Structure 1
Amino acid sequence: MAVSRGAAKLREYLADPEKVVVCPGVLDGLTARVALSVGFDALYMTGAGTAISRLGQPDLGLTTVDDMATNAGMIAGLDRSVPVIADADTGFGSPLMVARTVEKYMLQGVAAFHIEDQVTTKRCGHLLGKELVDTSVYVARIRAAAAARAAMPGSDIVIIARTDSLQSLGYDAAVERLKAAVAAGADVAFLEGMTTKEQMAQVVKDMAPTPCFLNMVSGGVTPLVDAAEAKALGYKIVIWPMACMTSVYLGMRDICRELKGTGRIEEKYEDGKLVGGVREVFECAGLSKCSAFDAEMGGTSFKNGA
């Protein structure tokens, strides 16, 4: 089993009354490496980003459990001391399949995951027309996740219960779903698609003492707040899932336009130094660390440099 030191650390963060965990949404190895280099306490593997980066498709329930678990495991493996919170969509099926999903995530060393109450052919929580399963089906998913965790020796993975029911069922019904999920074994509550700061503040009060999770989506339906305001509202985990998708999309779009229009890409400089060159990118991915490890172990692959 890939032991998740990240799960223990995430639980420490959740228990710290002064701590709010802010996570950038990462979608692949490069974006995860960049986020790690900046020094974030935790990372969030976005399901939408996984669909886009691995399949080139929108977040419409097209990814499989293997797509998601493999990507999450790769990201978690870059630095085992940094918790990775991963989207697990609906758990990908019946309680039996949910348990299998959770087992895969635990084996990959993921620190936490969230499971939602949409139908299996789900969609991004900030799109319209979401369809829900009955509360009993949703609770069965959470119960299966908790049972899978209990069956895995040494696992302390954090279960985050997400509900997308606010849009169609209203606030009170959504909170009741979250409370039922917590009773079934969830550790953290995640109300998706809130539209006012009043709702954002109220759900924290109504779910206390269960920690709450906040999703900040650029262009979505929830008002955007910074880390200080999220902490003041009482949130323990805040994710920005579009962080890397937005930057990769805009950066790649602009540089492709430059290459298409001029036939070349100009080098970029900051304070007179080249930025974004090949060595800088490779160093972000661990070039020096890899060559140093090889030499320490008695290897000679990089004796003439790298």
Structure 2
Amino acid sequence: MSFDTNSLSPGARLRAAWMSGPLTLPGVFNPLVAKMAERLGFSAVYLSGGALSAGSGVPDIGLLTLTEFTQAAQLTAQATTLPLLCDADTGFGESLNVERTVRMFEAAGAAGIHLEDQEMPKRCGHLSGKSVVSAEVMAAKIRAAVAAKRDKDFVIMARTDAKAVNGFDDALDRAKRYLDAGADAIFPEAMESRDEFERFAKALPGAVLLANMTEFGKSPYLDVKTFGEMGYRLVLFPLTAFRVAMKAAEDTLRDLMQSGTQTGSLPKMQTRSELYDLLGYTGYEARDRAYFGGRQ
């Protein structure tokens, strides 16, 4: 028996998407890219704290606030019917802060968040120099997050950065503790080999796992099909589109500076009509005329 998943809550739609997985989860760095991802056939999208920070001109070290994160989440969620998983860094404080973090992301229309067990100031998960809080502190945050959500299907994902700090066994032990605390899914950050990804999945049979395929980091490049065969339900590409877009912007600006004209870039551009089509421009105009009784 089939049903319309759009009638479900965002969290329920994300769960349905990963159950049909493995789910390819692209990072979208603005609401229009989210609309594009939906048009191209993706089943869910992701808002990266790294992309949000970089797009604001600052490094991913916890400088942006909860308000800035949830404003971006709200605009993105409003632009698409796809469920949106959001990076929530360390939860923007301790356990009581995490309660508010969950409620604000849920109110923004997100399908779920992931929380990480780093200490502040946090760092990109694939850089050295990280430190992690105790497993007990992180488990308390997970319990607070689960208690705070209003929709039972709102996803609470636990990310552990412990592998690069304390080793594989500690990361695995933490994942088990976080699942016991109520986490819906686990995000093991900075695995360094295919074997480590496989061992992690085998040690947590039945758990919902996310594999992070960020570029230029510690993890090898593996495809979605391979991860699905290992048992991973979600495969994240958090900055892929952002990095390509930034390189294209750099090349375009350099050419403009050197040549004094944009004509060399025209073949690489999204056209005006393509942009208007993605925006649904004609639909806005038609509705505006309808509201005036067609007299405009």
Give the TM-score taking structure 1 as reference length.
Answer: 0.89
Higher helix share: 2
Offset of residue 292 of structure 1: 3.0
Alignment match of 1:252 (pick from 249, 254, 258): 249
SS in 1 for 2:12: helix
Contact 1:27 1:50 in 2 (8 A): yes
Offset of residue 289 of structure 1: 2.7
Q: 1:32-181 residue pairs with structure 2 within 5 A? A: 32-53=34-55, 55-79=56-80, 81-149=81-149, 152=150, 154-181=151-178
SS in 2 for 1:268: helix
> Which residue does the alignment assign to 2:3?
none
SS in 1 for 2:27: strand
CA distance in 1, matches of 2:144, 2:121: 19
Q: 1:264-275 residue pairs with structure 2 within 5 A? A: 264-266=261-263, 268-269=266-267, 275=269
Give, as a single letter, the amino acid of the residue that structure 1 aligns with 2:39: S
> Which residue does the alignment assign to 1:14?
18
CA distance in 1, matches of 2:92, 2:153: 21
Question: Is there any run of 5+ residues in structure 1 with no aligned partner, and where?
Answer: none
SS in 2 for 1:26: coil
CA distance in 2, matches of 1:298, 1:238: 47
SS in 1 for 2:46: strand
> Which residue does the alignment assign to 1:183?
180
CA distance in 2, matches of 1:141, 1:191: 17
Question: Is there any run of 5+ residues in structure 2 with no aligned partner, and where?
Answer: 1-6
Give a deviation string over 1:63-109, Cα, whole Å, max 9, x none.
11111111111111112x31111100000101110010000000011
CA distance in 1, matches of 2:116, 2:110: 17
Closer, same or farther: CA 287–145 of 1 in aligned 2, 3 Å? same
Contact 2:19 2:233 in 1 (8 A): no
Contact 2:117 2:133 in 1 (8 A): yes
Contact 1:99 1:144 in 2 (8 A): yes
SS in 1 for 2:25: strand
Offset of residue 293 of structure 1: 3.0
CA distance in 1, matches of 2:279, 2:196: 41
Contact 1:92 1:120 in 2 (8 A): no
CA distance in 1, matches of 2:8, 2:51: 23
CA distance in 1, matches of 2:96, 2:166: 27
Contact 1:93 1:120 in 2 (8 A): no
Alignment match of 2:278 (pick from 252, 274, 284): 284
Offset of residue 120 of structure 1: 2.7
CA distance in 2, matches of 1:258, 1:62: 33
Give, as a single letter, the amino acid of the residue that structure 1 aligns with 2:282: S
> Which residue does the alignment assign to 1:211?
208
Closer, same or farther: CA 4–28 of 1 in aligned 2, 3 Å? farther
Offset of residue 52 of structure 1: 1.4
Closer, same or farther: CA 293–249 of 1 in aligned 2, 3 Å? same
CA distance in 2, matches of 1:287, 1:23: 27
Task: Report how many residues are paired.
Answer: 289
Give a deviation string over 1:43-79, Cα, whole Å, max 9, x none.
01011011112x2111111111111111111111112
Give, as a single letter, the amino acid of the residue that structure 2 aligns with 1:59: D
Give a deviation string over 1:248-300, Cα, whole Å, max 9, x none.
21110010011100001115348xxxx51233223222212322333444466
Aligned Cα root-mean-square deviation (Å): 1.8
SS in 2 for 1:118: coil
Closer, same or farther: CA 102–263 of 1 in aligned 2, 3 Å? same
Contact 1:194 1:200 in 2 (8 A): yes
> Which residue does the alignment assign to 2:4?
none
CA distance in 1, matches of 2:115, 2:101: 10
